[in-house]
Amino acid sequence: MSADHQEIEARDRRVALHEAAHLTVGRALGASYGGATINENSDLGFSGLCWGPDFQSRLAGSTSSIIDKIDELMPDDGDPRDEETAPIFQHVVNRVTELCAGSQAEALYLGDAWPATDDRRQEQQLAGLIFSNRDAAATFISACALEARAILQRHPDVLEALTAALLEHRTLDGTQIDETIGRAMVARQLAEEHERRRGWQAVIARANAFEADQMRDA
């Protein structure tokens, strides 16, 4: 295998892991997806991409205009933080956690992370909706990154399955994403059930051995 081919494979593996992490954490937090790809598009400036069910970019591209509109709805000092703004706060928490996931997966499984400038930009813009202080926003983003890592560590099988599916197909639609996650979850449940049964069989075997020892000693 040539060095160039190895480099391409390593690049694809990293991008697939990054996008799969967005999907894993996003779906764990209840997000929906229209698809994901690891096909690079230099014109649009991405090496991999996830998008929402309306086929618009979910994790790449300019979001400034959307955030500006949301910012107009955010309460000023003295305004109530009530049920009208609570969904926005929750959306920011979920989205920043989702955005952090790609780089967290790279660091967790590859030891380092490529710069993800668009992810970082969106994290800062979103955090700025609910924090006026930069240090507070940075601390919030760090907390979201830790949560993203925790979710990834709870679902390594889902992350692995989505990474493999992206490497195989290069582009997945929303149905393929959900089916891949579903298969991974079913496999996990079967493995847990088999482990439970093995554990129970071991308990029965120990009980039978103890009973046999008792009968010999009687």
The more confident residue out of 61 and 203 is 203
Sorted by sequence, the CB contacts under 8 Å of residue 91 that are 6+ apart come out as none
Interval 90-135: pLDDT, tens: 999 999 999 999 999 999 999 999 989 999 999 999 999 889 899 9
Query: Domain residue spans in the chain?
Result: 3-217
Backbone angles phi, psi at 131, to 5 degrees: -130, 130
| Residue 192 vs residue 210, higher pLDDT | 192
Looking at residue 44, the DSSP 8-state letter turns out to be: T
- Fold of the 3-217 domain: Methane Monooxygenase Hydroxylase; Chain G, domain 1 (1.20.58)
Which residues, at least 6 apart from 125, have a Cβ–Cβ distance to it below 8 Å? 63, 64, 67
The residue count of the chain comes to 218
% of the chain exceeding 70 in pLDDT: 82
pLDDT at residue 61 greater than cutoff 50: no
Q: In Å, how far from its chain's centre is CA 171?
A: 17
8 Å CB contact between 161 and 29:
no
Q: Let me know the angle formed at the C-alpha of 12 by 20 and 183, rounded to the nearest 5 degrees.
A: 35
Quickly state the pLDDT bin for 200 (edges 50, 70, 90). confident
Radius of gyration of the chain (CA): 23
CA distance 189 to 107: 28
